Amino acid sequence: MRTINKEKILNSLGEVVVLLGGQSDEREVSLKSGAAVFDSLNRLGVSVSMIDVGPAIVNDLVTSNPDMVVNMLHGEGGEDGSIQGLLEQLDLPYTGSGVTASALAMDKAISKRVWRDVGLKTPDFVILKEESDWEDIISYLGAIIVKPTRDGSSLGLMPAATAEELEQIFSDKRLGKKEIMAESRIRGTEYTVPILGSEIFPIIEFLEKDCVFDFQRKYGAQEIPIRCPAKLSSDAEFELTEMVRCAYDSLGCRGLARVDVIRDTSGVFYLLEVNTIPGMTTKSFVPKSAQAIDVSFDDLMLLILSDCMEFYNESI
């Protein structure tokens, strides 16, 4: 991990606004992530304020006129390119990926197609529609995980093994009118890997096998057992980190992101998704990964700020 000049970063920073909340299904997680980031910036002595994003967001940003925006909005409206487009129209520097990369990464089906085009492995999938043949899908994919194509925080993940289960999930009114996909369920060990620009943080290994890590499991009272750094051979670690780097680069990501991967029982890695605004709560994986190399939450924020400033040609 590179060294940074804390004093120089803070002296160059100016006014910072943290965007949080919003109106997506991930609002509550965003409020917690944004509050943790705001508290960290306060501890560092940054002149910082928060905006709970709503209909008045344009006026709020114009009034605050920050030198940098730290985007902690999760889900639709926050990590799908929408807020990024607005910030660019207002000529405001912001953390995280840009418009196109955010839109690509937010849509799991599109990102999987991009990865396939560049030769990266990802589980087979089918977009579900009213006219879908449920028997054919199960015959093609086998046991599956059903998920919305454009939700994060593992919202809406549901397993199915039969055509009847699949049809029932598709008819679930809780999914509303969201586009959903069926993805072949890979049995094995899941990993998640934070990445910031060219730097990859320690790999996190989930110790529960064949578990569906849905929203309730990730953010429930009982923490998911993990190992960090992951127990991998040097060859497997190299293979995984190169896959993560390529997944990130192929979508055009920048700033902090987190890549989710699963390794099957024969040792083959498959990409699941890239999170361009990963959680920063007390339960989140990115701060836990940073801790494994003695990078505190505050130091992690300094790295994120420095990376953003460098992108906008203010080299630290």
Domain residue extents for the chain: 6-95, 105-122+186-291, 125-184
Condensed to tens digits (0 to 9), the pLDDT of residues 57-89 reads 999 999 999 999 999 999 999 999 999 999 999
Annotated active-site residue 219? The verdict is yes
Residue 315 annotated among the catalytic residues of the structure? no
Q: Active-site residue 245, yes or no?
A: no
CB atoms within 10 A of CB 243: 19
Query: What is the assigned CATH class of domain 6-95?
Result: alpha beta
State how far the Cα of 32 lies from the Cα of 57, in Å rounded to an integer. Answer: 19
**Do the domains spanning 6-95 and 125-184 agree at the CATH topology level?**
no
Q: Is 65 a catalytic residue?
A: no
- pLDDT computed for residue 315 by the predictor: 43
**Among 33, 97, 250, 275, the one annotated catalytic:** 275
| 8 Å CB contact between 72 and 18 | yes
Does domain 105-122+186-291 correspond to CATH entry 3.30.470.20?
yes
CATH of domain 125-184: 3.30.1490
Mark whether 111 is an active-site residue. no
Out of 79, 154, 190, 219, the active site residue is 219
Query: Quick check: is 26 catalytic?
Result: yes
Query: What does the alpha-carbon distance between residue 146 and residue 307 come to, in Å, rounded to a whole number?
Result: 35
Per-residue pLDDT averaged across 16-31, rounded?
Answer: 94
Instruction: Convert the pLDDT of each residue in 156-208 to its tens digit.
Output: 689 999 999 999 988 875 566 678 999 999 999 999 999 999 999 999 999 98
Q: Examine the residue annotation and report whether 153 is marked as an active-site residue of this protein.
A: yes
